[in-house]
Structure formats: structure tokens, C-alpha cells
Chains A and B, each alone.
Chain A
């Protein structure tokens, strides 16, 4: 072998070795530590310690004895075949410790995700994509609020004791998970594991729920509408509650000038509504599909009291709710908890049952700060001041820690949302003794104790509905709204941040908020009805109701707008020149029962007609006024998810078909737009503008349906257009449920909020009460199951029953005869 050849072989040998070393180092680094967002798959997928260990948590639990160090005395936990848990303890503290342990066993990833979102630590788990959420939440201040609440909470108070006991239970489970390495898959893949649970974490989760139910951008949407459509049209079409004329001791005091003009416009709108016999326009995006109601007396077969509730939250897998029963001396309660919170929010005890629905309120105020020096100074009470600056470090998985700073103005943190940068006053940032209130409700045995327990509740604004074992019903509006000393601003719009319009205190969210045994035998909150005596259509006309009829009502898909508008549409179509398809579609509508069921073709025609009708009438105004929809599409766009416009258009169609809204501001624009009107027939003068628009919208709906699903209206099932989905909290499509054909819409009791694919609607349904003396009933249903582990049979075992309208009996104290029993030993 020549020297050259030998040298070449040596080079190849060395090069091969170096390359092998380099590749090995890279591979081991990536598999062991990950690369950016790429997870450390070596660690994550090693059988025995990685993600595969979650299989142990996916098996149905065995009856066993477990050691939970945080307990003082032994605790019994039993599970039904669906995993509904019953905890029997000898003290309240042990009950909440066991609750923490059990929730962590079945919902640890969800709990950790919730606190991460609330505390601005999401990016640490999911990487860079979580940074915007973290920045927003840190600005909004859920963590600051939780820390302040915990610092101010008396150590010996029942709420503090429950929070500490609950945290101890969660941490006992975490200690076990650390010892066994059995973590939910999400942690193993990210190689980020949850730190110990603290009472602050529970309070942060409470803050997140408050944000979900109470934080809004409504004033910013009003500003965008007022600047584009004009104040008068905005007030008439969207009727902001804050601009309403109210007594002097009410929530907000209005300024003398512009606000009185606003009040006059609203009074005009209300007078018009009253004359037409219709409901006035709703506040922008204020409607919630959540409902809770109770009936008694002649309304109940048996003469007792029955209650139903279906709080609307995003429908996710796993569910936002975890069902459990707690029993200890002096405590016997069953119902729905939110994982992370030691409290039952909806449920019953031996004497009372309760549910809630969000109550529209003025929880969020925005302040437009006057600044100078590129925003470094702001004007407040006549002086230029430096804002307080807070700095945060956001750990990011797979990337460098992100540093950011934020300002605190006197009114609150400076936020950028819906295209506006303003300071925000939000009652949720003040904290609220919600856990103490719910602990009190769990032990209440009468309406006075129930109302007393809720007296300290500050946020979010909720209407609690009540029923008891003596056949009484009632409701309490809990929450407080800011009292304003208005200077130059209007409460329904962002206010000047100069100090003249600052909040001077808090007042109860609604005057005369408690209702008890009304003559109508009905109390209702949320949805289409107001709190108190007003009886919405779906509840009127019923008598001798039973749990079965309650279940049917909660599953009701009757569209109330269709009930009043459909006759007008059919009247408008009479005499119109229709194609054969349109005639068949009109026939299908005429024989339609008004139910938005997945198998109904009439529902498809109605649904598309109503969407087209809204667009035909309002879009020309939006286009002409250049409404900045992109700033907040949900709050500003024309569509069926805008309850204000729904109410307006229904009212005009029923009683005012000559309303000026049917005449677009620039006819040429309407003619050139997507939704061009049908040519007016010769006898146009005899046809109202509303009828013309209805004909055009109907024609467009039929054309769309024919294009999508063929010429035969019999095949236009609603479920082919409309689906519902319960996405996984992880974001992985395969771990969610759906999309699947579904009925319902924004207006039905069984709500499906959204357009083509709904992901928001009832998050649970509860029926509880005492139809007859001594006969208690408590049933629950929610999509998903008790476990968050997708490999567990308890992950989605209740989904089919949910969509079929079935209920399960709530677990109850003791869980006698339950197939699975744990003995928790200290």
C-alpha cells in the first residue's frame, strides 16, 4: 500500500469517526433535551418512565388503600362505574384534602394548564406560542390578584383552611407521581412537570373563571361602532345597558350632557319596542346562552321545587367540570367542581339545590390615557405622572426567557386588546371571596342562609337560582359593579383616564336582586329571560313539570326568532315569483316545526335564510360606515352570533317593516354588493322593504343550499351544514370529539354558539330538586367524562349520553354500593 493510499485511509477513518461522534452528540442532545419546540423524544417515549407510564392512570382504578400524608383521619372514596366520586371524611379539611388528591389523580394536566394560563406560565409548557397569552394574563393581573387575596385572607378562615387542605391533597398526589414517574402524557412529552400546588394557584384558577365569565371588551366595541355607525344608530341598535337611564342610586351615574341624550335615544327605542310588543334590543354581545331556572307550586308535578342549570362554557375534552360528592360532619354536598377549586359551584345538599348563569354587568371599564413623551408620562388629576412599571420574566420552553414590562395606571393595567391600548378597570382584578361564598352555600339549608352566603360575592356577576326541600324557589344576583363619578365620559364607551371619571366604589350588580317564591312559580336567569319574574317563552305554558320535562326543555332546539319571524317570511313569499326549488323550500318551511334539529331540512333553510337576511339588511350599513370588524370580529361583525342585531331585525320584521334600517345608506352600494337585492316587481309599492329583503335572503339561502346539497330540499338536513365539536384542551384534533352533525343555534335553549361549527354551548346540565316532599332528585350530564386521560374509559364515556340527552344520577354521600372504593390513610 502506498503512503498516499494509507494517508487517505487514515483520513477516511478519522473523518468517519468525527462524523459518527458529531451525529451521535446531536442525536443524544435532541433526544435527551429537545431542540426548540421539538420535544425530547428519547426521554419522553422510553417505555417504563416516559409518556407510556400514563397507561397506569388510564386503567380504571382498583379498590385499594392509599397513603395520603395530608390527611388527619382515614377517608373513604368511592367511584361509580362512570367514575363519579364520593368522598366521606371525618373533617371538612380531610374532605378537601381528599378532593385535591382525587382531582389531581384524574385532572392534573387540566389543573396545571389552568393555573399556567392564569399565572402567565403557559409558554413554559407549550413554548413560544404561549407567550402572547402569558403577556396578556400577566398584564391583566390574575396572579397579582390571587397573591393579594391570599395575603389578605385570614389564616383560620374556612376558605383558607379549605385552600390549604386542598393544596395538601394535590401535593400528596404530586409526590406520588414524582416517585412513580407516572405523569400525564403532556408533561412527559414536554419534559416540564408541575410544581407543588399552592392556595394562590387555586385563587388564580378562580380568577381565570372570573375572566371567562366577566371580562369583556364591550366598551371598545361600542367605541368602534360609535365612531363608524354613529352614536344614534349604535345606541338604537345595540342599547348599551350602561347608557340606560336609571335611578340616582343605580350602578352608574350618567353625566348631564351627552349621556342624557343617550338616555333619550334609548327611551325612544324602548318606547318603540313597547309599542310593538317586542323585546328591546340587547346590549352588544351581552347575551349568554347559559340558563338556570327553577319552578315550584303548580308548575311541578308533586307541588315541590325543581331546578335546572346549563352553564355555557367552551365545550372541551376533558370537561370544565368534575363531579363529586363530599361528606363530613356538618357537610353533605354533591355537584360540579372546577378542577383546581375546592368548592362545588353547581349542586345540592340535603336541603337546597342551586345553579347559576352569568348576569350582564359593567365589570370592565376602559380608560383612554392622555400621555406625553412617547407614553412615558400620563395625565391624572391635573398632573403628569410616571406609571408604575412591573417587570416579568416568562420562561419559554425551547427558547430564551422572555423579559417584558408593563404599566400600571391608577385605573388598572395598560392593555392592548381589540385594537386599542388603554388602561382597564376590571372588578375581577379586585378579588372576590367566591370560595368562601360557595363553602357557605354548600352548608346552607334555607334561602336566607343561601343569600347570606352569597352576600360577599364580588365578581363575576352571576345570577344564582335556588330550590329547596320545602318547595321554595328563588334567585340571587351576586356581584358588584363599579360606581362611577362621571365627568366627561359616557359609561358605555371608554372613559378619559384623567381622573374625572374614575371609579369611586362598588355597588351591588342589580337592585332588588333577590327573588323568592314569585307568584309566577318560576325564576329564571340567563338565556332569553331576565332574572326574577320574567318568564321566557320556553318556560311559559308548562304545568306539572317533572325531571323528564326539564330534561326535554334543556334539550330544546326550538328557535324563538323563527317562531315569530317565520310567519312573516312565509307571508312575504306569497305572491313572489319563486323558482321550483324555492317553492319546495317554502313548502318545507311551512311544514317545519321550528326545531333546529340535525335531521331537519326546514332548520337548514331557516338558518341560512336568517344569516342572509341579517347580512342583506345590515351589511350595507357596515360597508358604508366602514365598521372596523377586524378589530374584534366576534363583537363587531354582522351575523347570527350578534344577539343585538338578531333582536333588532326580529322586532322590525314583526312590527316595523318600514324601519329605516331596511333602506341602506347608499343604494348604489347595496346594488353593487354581494347581496344585491332582487329587482323590485312592478307592484313594489305594495311590498315592504323588509319583505323585499326577506325574499332576497330566502332566494340566496335556497341557491346556496341547492349548490351545496342538491336540488331536493328533503335532503338539506341541518346536520350536513351545522356541526358541534368538543376540542381537546391539548389542541390535538384526534383527542377531541367531533365535529359531528348537531342541532341548535345561538337562540335555542340547547345552544350551539358559533356558525358552521359550534364549540360553545352548555358545558353541563343539571336537574335537582324535590318534586314531592321527601323525594330528592339530582341528575347531571356533561360531555366527556371524569378522566382527562384519553386512554381511559372515563375520558369520553359520557359523551354519547350527553348528545342523546341522557343524565346520570349525581353521586351522593357515602357512595353505598359503588364498585370501586379507596381507603385513604394518613
Chain B
């Protein structure tokens, strides 16, 4: 808010909203140093918070495979979409991050199984053969990981699409 000093107290002396029109020119404060990927208009959460959230997502997705909850990449993706509105990550960063989270979430149990001596390579070859995919074992693994990624991406889209405005306004 600014004021016209010669007419103080009179009607119209106060001009609401006219910034930088009167008085001493104010210099812009220096821009805070933020990582490029975290720059957002509504940015609220720190990078470490985001990384922890992603890690939690990986753990939830991986852990629930034990009980056969195949839809958890989708559920976690929905959560990621919702959190993204709140925490304010640009989509070009969030999308690959969520994809990696889902991929690791389903790949980790496979990797652990391999470390335990389970012949997952052979099973991957069988999966590829029975689903008609060329490429042998790699195709079986890629198909599996892809299913997790597609679920998470769809969930992320849904989470972002349904929750953004309200959540964004609430936390603004």
C-alpha cells in the first residue's frame, strides 16, 4: 500500500495495490538458493522429505508384494500425486521419481530372491515364453517392472487430478 503525501487524510490519498509507484524504491530480496528440481510456486517440503517419502513408497510397495497386494504401486502412486500438490514438486521431476519408486518397489523383492538363490532368471524366461514376449528372461523382468510403473503413473495422475486445487489452497 502507498500514499500520496500531499493529500494525506483526504479522499483518494491512499492507493491500495500500487506497489513501487511511490516513495523509496525497494530492492528485490535475493532469491533463496533452492535446487532447481525443488523450485515451485507452492514448494513447501524439503528435498530430504521427498526422498524419505519415496523411500517409504518403495518399502510399502515391496513389502506388500509378500501378501500379493499387486495394486499397491497404484495406491502409492495416488498418494504421490496427492502429496505432490501439497509438497510442490514439478511434474517433470515427480513423474520419473514415482516411476523409479514403483520399479524399485517390485524389482527389490526379485533382487532379494536372487540373492537368496531363487532361480528368478529361469522364471522370468518362463513368464516371457508364456506371455509370448521375445527376448527371454529380460523380457519377463521388464514386463513385471513395467506393470508396477504403469500402475504408479496412473495412480499419480489420478492423485494429482483429483486433489490438487483443494489441497493446494488449504496449504497455501
Which residues of A line the B interface, CB within 8 A?
Answer: 13, 16-17, 19-21, 23-24, 27-28, 31-32, 39, 41-43, 45-52, 54-56, 58-59, 181, 185-186, 189, 728, 730, 732-735, 789-792
Q: In the complex, what distance in Å separates the CA atom of A28 from the CA atom of B143?
A: 16
Taking a contact as CB atoms under 8 Å apart, the answer to whether B71 and A32 are in contact is yes
Contacts of A734 in B (CB 8 A): 125, 128-129, 136
Contact with A along B106-140 (1 / 0, CB 8 A): 10011001000111111101111111100010000
Taking a contact as CB atoms under 8 Å apart, the answer to whether A13 and B110 are in contact is no
Q: In the complex, what distance in Å separates the CA atom of A438 from the CA atom of B151?
A: 54
Taking a contact as CB atoms under 8 Å apart, the answer to whether B122 and A49 are in contact is no
Q: A58: nearest residue on chain B (CB-CB)? A: B119
Q: A733: nearest residue on chain B (CB-CB)? A: B129
Whole-angstrom distance from the CB of B77 to the nearest CB of chain A?
A: 9
Taking a contact as CB atoms under 8 Å apart, the answer to whether B67 and A42 are in contact is no
Known: A20-B154, A45-B144, A791-B119. A185 touches B127 (CB 8 A): yes
Whole-angstrom distance from the CB of A110 to the nearest CB of chain B?
A: 14
Q: A15: nearest residue on chain B (CB-CB)? A: B161
Q: In the complex, what distance in Å separates the CA atom of A43 from the CA atom of B72?
A: 11
Taking a contact as CB atoms under 8 Å apart, the answer to whether B157 and A185 are in contact is no
Whole-angstrom distance from the CB of A154 to the nearest CB of chain B?
A: 43
Taking a contact as CB atoms under 8 Å apart, the answer to whether B127 and A28 are in contact is no
Q: In the complex, what distance in Å separates the CA atom of A735 from the CA atom of B131?
A: 12
Taking a contact as CB atoms under 8 Å apart, the answer to whether A45 and B67 are in contact is no
For window 68-97 of chain B, which residues contact chain A by CB distance below 8 Å?
68-71, 74
Contact with A along B149-172 (1 / 0, CB 8 A): 011001101101110110000000
Contacts of B74 in A (CB 8 A): 24, 27-28
Known: A49-B66, A55-B118. A20 touches B161 (CB 8 A): yes
Whole-angstrom distance from the CB of A11 to the nearest CB of chain B?
A: 13
- What would 18 A/B residue contacts be, using CB atoms closer than 8 Å? A23-B158, A24-B155, A28-B71, A42-B70, A42-B71, A47-B109, A47-B144, A48-B65, A49-B70, A51-B126, A52-B120, A54-B123, A55-B119, A55-B122, A58-B118, A58-B122, A185-B130, A732-B130
Query: CB of B147 within 8 A of chain A?
Result: yes
Whole-angstrom distance from the CB of A699 to the nearest CB of chain B?
A: 42
Q: In the complex, what distance in Å separates the CA atom of A618 from the CA atom of B48?
A: 84
Please pick, from B113, B125, B129, B157, the residue contacting A47 in the complex, using a CB distance under 8 A: B113
Taking a contact as CB atoms under 8 Å apart, the answer to whether A20 and B70 are in contact is no
Q: A188: nearest residue on chain B (CB-CB)? A: B127
Taking a contact as CB atoms under 8 Å apart, the answer to whether A791 and B122 are in contact is yes
Taking a contact as CB atoms under 8 Å apart, the answer to whether A23 and B157 are in contact is yes
Closest 10 CB pairs of A and B: A791-B122, A49-B68, A46-B70, A48-B65, A734-B129, A732-B129, A47-B109, A20-B161, A55-B118, A20-B158
* B contact residues, total (Cβ < 8 Å): 42
Contacts of B109 in A (CB 8 A): 47-48, 52
Contacts of A42 in B (CB 8 A): 70-71, 147, 151
Please pick, from B110, B123, B151, B161, the residue contacting A791 in the complex, using a CB distance under 8 A: B123
Q: A16: nearest residue on chain B (CB-CB)? A: B161
- Mostly helix, strand, loop or mixed at chain A's interface? helix
Contacts of A21 in B (CB 8 A): 158, 161-162
Taking a contact as CB atoms under 8 Å apart, the answer to whether A790 and B126 are in contact is yes
Taking a contact as CB atoms under 8 Å apart, the answer to whether A20 and B113 are in contact is no
Taking a contact as CB atoms under 8 Å apart, the answer to whether A791 and B126 are in contact is yes
Contacts of A23 in B (CB 8 A): 154, 157-158
Taking a contact as CB atoms under 8 Å apart, the answer to whether A730 and B130 are in contact is yes
Known: A49-B68, A52-B113, A185-B126. A41 touches B118 (CB 8 A): no
Please pick, from A59, A181, A732, the residue contacting B118 in the complex, using a CB distance under 8 A: A59
Contacts of B121 in A (CB 8 A): 791
Q: In the complex, what distance in Å separates the CA atom of A499 from the CA atom of B103?
A: 70
Taking a contact as CB atoms under 8 Å apart, the answer to whether A27 and B154 are in contact is yes
Taking a contact as CB atoms under 8 Å apart, the answer to whether A52 and B136 are in contact is no
Q: In the complex, what distance in Å separates the CA atom of A792 from the CA atom of B121?
A: 11
Q: In the complex, what distance in Å separates the CA atom of A408 from the CA atom of B162?
A: 61
Contacts of B147 in A (CB 8 A): 31, 41-42, 45
Taking a contact as CB atoms under 8 Å apart, the answer to whether A48 and B125 are in contact is no
Known: A24-B158, A42-B147. A790 touches B70 (CB 8 A): no
Whole-angstrom distance from the CB of A607 to the nearest CB of chain B?
A: 32
Q: In the complex, what distance in Å separates the CA atom of A563 from the CA atom of B65?
A: 64
Q: In the complex, what distance in Å separates the CA atom of A142 from the CA atom of B162?
A: 57
Q: In the complex, what distance in Å separates the CA atom of A181 from the CA atom of B67?
A: 10
Whole-angstrom distance from the CB of B6 to the nearest CB of chain A?
A: 36
Contacts of B71 in A (CB 8 A): 28, 31-32, 42
Q: In the complex, what distance in Å separates the CA atom of A82 from the CA atom of B68?
A: 33
Known: A20-B162, A31-B70, A42-B147. A52 touches B117 (CB 8 A): no
Contacts of A43 in B (CB 8 A): 68, 70
Please pick, from A16, A46, A50, A54, the residue contacting B126 in the complex, using a CB distance under 8 A: A54
Q: In the complex, what distance in Å separates the CA atom of A39 from the CA atom of B66?
A: 20
Whole-angstrom distance from the CB of A317 to the nearest CB of chain B?
A: 11
Contacts of A47 in B (CB 8 A): 65, 106, 109-110, 113, 144
Whole-angstrom distance from the CB of B27 to the nearest CB of chain A?
A: 30
Q: In the complex, what distance in Å separates the CA atom of A679 from the CA atom of B167?
A: 94
Q: In the complex, what distance in Å separates the CA atom of A728 from the CA atom of B125?
A: 14
Known contacts A49-B66, A52-B113, A730-B130; can you find 5 more A-B pairs with CB under 8 A?
Answer: A13-B164, A43-B70, A55-B119, A732-B129, A733-B129
Interface centre among A46, A186, A189, by most B CB within 10 Å? A46
Whole-angstrom distance from the CB of A47 to the nearest CB of chain B?
A: 4
Taking a contact as CB atoms under 8 Å apart, the answer to whether B119 and A50 are in contact is no
Please pick, from B66, B118, B157, B165, the residue contacting A13 in the complex, using a CB distance under 8 A: B165
Contacts of B143 in A (CB 8 A): 41, 45
Taking a contact as CB atoms under 8 Å apart, the answer to whether A24 and B154 are in contact is yes
Whole-angstrom distance from the CB of A255 to the nearest CB of chain B?
A: 54
Contacts of A733 in B (CB 8 A): 129
Whole-angstrom distance from the CB of A126 to the nearest CB of chain B?
A: 11
Q: In the complex, what distance in Å separates the CA atom of A732 from the CA atom of B125?
A: 11
Contacts of A32 in B (CB 8 A): 70-71
Taking a contact as CB atoms under 8 Å apart, the answer to whether B125 and A55 are in contact is no
Please pick, from A39, A49, A55, A56, the residue contacting B65 in the complex, using a CB distance under 8 A: A49
Contacts of B155 in A (CB 8 A): 24
Taking a contact as CB atoms under 8 Å apart, the answer to whether A27 and B127 are in contact is no
Contacts of B165 in A (CB 8 A): 13
Q: B128: nearest residue on chain A (CB-CB)? A: A734
Q: B122: nearest residue on chain A (CB-CB)? A: A791
Q: In the complex, what distance in Å separates the CA atom of A27 from the CA atom of B152?
A: 11
Q: In the complex, what distance in Å separates the CA atom of A482 from the CA atom of B72?
A: 63
Contacts of B118 in A (CB 8 A): 55-56, 58-59
Q: A60: nearest residue on chain B (CB-CB)? A: B119
Taking a contact as CB atoms under 8 Å apart, the answer to whether B130 and A186 are in contact is yes
Whole-angstrom distance from the CB of B62 to the nearest CB of chain A?
A: 8
Q: In the complex, what distance in Å separates the CA atom of A16 from the CA atom of B81?
A: 13
Taking a contact as CB atoms under 8 Å apart, the answer to whether A59 and B158 are in contact is no
Q: A49: nearest residue on chain B (CB-CB)? A: B68
Please pick, from A13, A50, A189, A735, the residue contacting B70 in the complex, using a CB distance under 8 A: A50
Q: B163: nearest residue on chain A (CB-CB)? A: A17
Contacts of A19 in B (CB 8 A): 161
Contacts of B129 in A (CB 8 A): 728, 730, 732-735, 790
Whole-angstrom distance from the CB of B43 to the nearest CB of chain A?
A: 21
Q: In the complex, what distance in Å separates the CA atom of A175 from the CA atom of B39?
A: 56
Please pick, from A20, A31, A41, A49, the residue contacting B157 in the complex, using a CB distance under 8 A: A20
Taking a contact as CB atoms under 8 Å apart, the answer to whether A791 and B125 are in contact is yes
Whole-angstrom distance from the CB of B147 to the nearest CB of chain A?
A: 6
Contacts of A789 in B (CB 8 A): 126
Contacts of B123 in A (CB 8 A): 51-52, 54-55, 58, 185, 791
Q: In the complex, what distance in Å separates the CA atom of A13 from the CA atom of B85?
A: 14
Known: A21-B158, A55-B122. A46 touches B69 (CB 8 A): yes
Whole-angstrom distance from the CB of A382 to the nearest CB of chain B?
A: 56
Whole-angstrom distance from the CB of A238 to the nearest CB of chain B?
A: 42
Contacts of B113 in A (CB 8 A): 47, 52, 55
Interface centre among A13, A31, A735, by most B CB within 10 Å? A31
Whole-angstrom distance from the CB of B60 to the nearest CB of chain A?
A: 13
Please pick, from B65, B119, B158, B162, the residue contacting A46 in the complex, using a CB distance under 8 A: B65
